[in-house]
Amino acid sequence: MKEELILDVKDLVVHYELEEETVYAVNGIDLQLRRGETLGLVGETGAGKTTAALAILRLVPDPPGVVKSGTITVAGHDMMSVSAKELEEIRGKDVSMIFQYPMTSLNPVFTVGEQIAESVMIHEHTAKEAAMERAKEMLELVGIPGSRANEYPHQFSGGMKQRVIIAIALTCNPKLLIADEPTTALDVTIQAQVLELMAALRKQYGSSMIMITHDLGIVAESCDAVAVMYAGRIIEYGTLEDVFNRTRHPYTEGLFNSLPNIRDRARALKPIKGQMPDPSVLPEGCAFAPRCPYATERCTQMPPQEHRFGGTHRVLCSAYDDPAFHIERGRQNG
């Protein structure tokens, strides 16, 4: 039986068309998410993760951002063709987003209560008093005393601001929650708290979630599926098992190798050599080829081919044209 798809993105292409250059931020990605599922969207800074997420809410700043092609379906809504009014109804209700920078993502001149209540008033058409009551409940839910609803963002710490942002995002019980590096700007001690809170609330509400992060530890703890992005494309996509235990793509392998290993402290870290290509001048062939230890001449000339393994695992790498090909990590794991 096919479960209901909350999110279905097909061949999404987003460019930033600046006067002097075009930035190829997202270059044809496919994403599917079922009810209650969590997808980890992993990649370096500049890989196009945030742009992809913003495109799902149609929030890519335009100009200069342009969604060149693709279809985005969120909870049955065709996001590319809905009207501005419908879009306002979908945002915050069907899909909402938690942003990366809690320090700047709250409006400094409105109370946190007002900022949570606004969402309730928009989507549930309640009066202000009732909405403020809901706001207080939401604050309690994220571990902030409801009595602080009348305080302003500058009176809260970074971790608490992120909780407020989570409260705003969850207020109207969205079917899809997109969390863009929700803990990157927070202290490590607060990170764990916020992640636990999000996991608990998600379970309670049954929301699907996209967790954007560059922290593979967070992915391992909280995600069912993983998509690894590089230079605007998803280069490896599968279940957590697929990507973590049956890693296929040389870039994903590089990511794992560059993690410190607590059981082998003496070993030097193995960073991936080189830099991600400038997204305004992408190479003709595989974007990772210049940094890839397995790259052949063919990789730099031809766009990489997608290969499927099992029902769920997709890898964008031409090396698998040769059925005997194995990355090192793959060999170790058998």
Q: Which residues contact other proteins (rule: CB under 8 A)?
A: 57, 59, 84-85, 88-93, 96-97, 99, 101, 104-111, 115, 118-119, 122-123, 152, 154-155, 165, 168-169, 171
List helix spans (H) across the chain: 49-56, 84-90, 112-124, 128-141, 158-170, 188-205, 216-222, 240-245, 250-257, 297-301, 328-333
- Cβ pair 182, 198 in contact under 8 A: yes
Pick 166 or 225: Cβ nearer other proteins: 166
Pick 57 or 234: Cβ nearer other proteins: 57
Rounded least distance, CB 73 to other proteins, Å: 18
In whole angstroms, how far apart are CA 75 and each of 90, 94, 118, 175, 176?
9, 7, 22, 7, 8
Residue 169 per-residue DSSP state: H
Residue 237 per-residue DSSP state: E
Give 262's Cβ-side CA count (13 Å radius): 1
Pick 12 or 185: Cβ nearer other proteins: 185
- The tokens describing 19, both together, are 């006067």
Report the Cα–Cα distance between both ends of the chain, in Å, rounded: 32
Pick 122 or 302: Cβ nearer other proteins: 122
Rounded least distance, CB 175 to other proteins, Å: 14
Rounded least distance, CB 102 to other proteins, Å: 9
- Cβ pair 272, 291 in contact under 8 A: yes
Pick 174 or 279: Cβ nearer other proteins: 174
Containing 246, the helix (H) or strand (E) segment is: none
Pick 132 or 235: Cβ nearer other proteins: 132
Rounded least distance, CB 165 to other proteins, Å: 7
Pick 6 or 286: Cβ nearer other proteins: 6
The neighbour count for residue 89, using CB atoms within 10 Å, is 14
Rounded least distance, CB 142 to other proteins, Å: 15
Scan for tokens 């992408």, then name that residue.
Answer: 282
